[in-house]
Amino acid sequence: MFCPSCNNADTKVIDSRVIDEGKTVRRRRECPKCGYRFTTYERFAERPIIVIKRDNSAEPFDRKKLLRGLLTATAKRDVPPSKLEDLIDGIENDIRAENKTEIDSTALGDMVLARLRDVDDLAYIRFASVYRDFKSIEEFSEAIKKMG
């Protein structure tokens, strides 16, 4: 595993934990060259989840893409990235628990919003404004009213 800080090819595992009901191994690693510590996750290969977009195109479910959207929504908020990883894990687990290999982007977005609302109200509104593509201040205001 390469160090994301100095690109050293030799990093060592300092802690391993089984998470996600035994489906994932979380490893804390340290670079002996620069001392940088980071986390990696090992997951077993599962059937890919396909997201059906609004234009009926299909693309593989991308944890990183969803995480980027959540990080944008939670920018400058007190929400640790581990909480967002847990949120994504929960969504992925729910989809797999239903033995689905495809999900509409609308249903996926609704799952994200349902969980994000419990994490941070402002992040919820930020994510909803992009996901629901608000066209007016009235739509934005209506979303806020529904929260209360």
Starting at the edge strand that comes first in sequence, how are the strands of the sheet with 102-104 ordered? 58-60, 50-52, 102-104
Place of tokens 């690109």: 7
pLDDT tens by residue, 88-116:
999 999 998 898 899 999 999 999 999 99
pLDDT tens digits for range 57-71 = 999 999 999 999 999
pTM (whole model) above 0.75: no
